[in-house]
Amino acid sequence: MHQKWKQHIDFIRENINKMTADEIAEAIGVTPYNLKLFLLQRRIFPEQKERNLLLEILKLKFVKPEYFSPTKQFYAEVAIRQRRFWQLYRGEKRLTEKEYQTLSQHFNVSLQDAFDARQLNLLDDVHI
């Protein structure tokens, strides 16, 4: 990582959900375009208001979802095109039930494990 970004990474992570990309770019003195490229390369996205089922599956399989790097073979096996996959990853689109089942099977995550993870995450939203 370039030194310029190292000194700003904590600020970016801290404010990604509080400020727009343009505001962050201005605060750290880079162009919005360069910031967006950096965020895409590092797979840093604002938190989604809706639950992201693809990220939940990836979290079951990997320590951090950003560790997963899909290949052409992966896209072919799960029958999801590259563009759609990244839209799903960023939470711009929602998984269909068929895609959810296909990805769960591909990653050898039992539907019961996936269901249990979904239920546990529902409890995170409950405040007692």
- Mapping DSSP onto H, E and C, the string for the chain reads CCHHHHCCHHHHHHHCCCCCHHHHHHHHCCCHHHHHHHHHHHCCCCCCCCCCHHHHHHHHHCCCHHHCCCCHHHHHHHCCCHHHHHHHHCCCCCCCHHHHHHHHHHCCCCHHHHHHHHHHHHHHCCCC
The confidence score (pLDDT) of residue 126 equals 44
The confidence score (pLDDT) of residue 127 equals 45
Q: Which two three-digit tokens encode residue 92?
A: 């711009």
The confidence score (pLDDT) of residue 78 equals 96
The confidence score (pLDDT) of residue 83 equals 95
The confidence score (pLDDT) of residue 60 equals 86
The angle, 0 to 180 degrees and rounded to 10, between the axes of the packed helices 21-28 and 32-42 is 110
Note down pLDDT in tens along the chain; length 128 residues.
566 788 888 888 888 878 888 888 999 999 989 988 888 888 787 765 667 888 888 988 887 888 899 999 999 999 999 999 998 988 888 889 899 889 989 999 876 776 666 665 444 444 44
The confidence score (pLDDT) of residue 53 equals 84
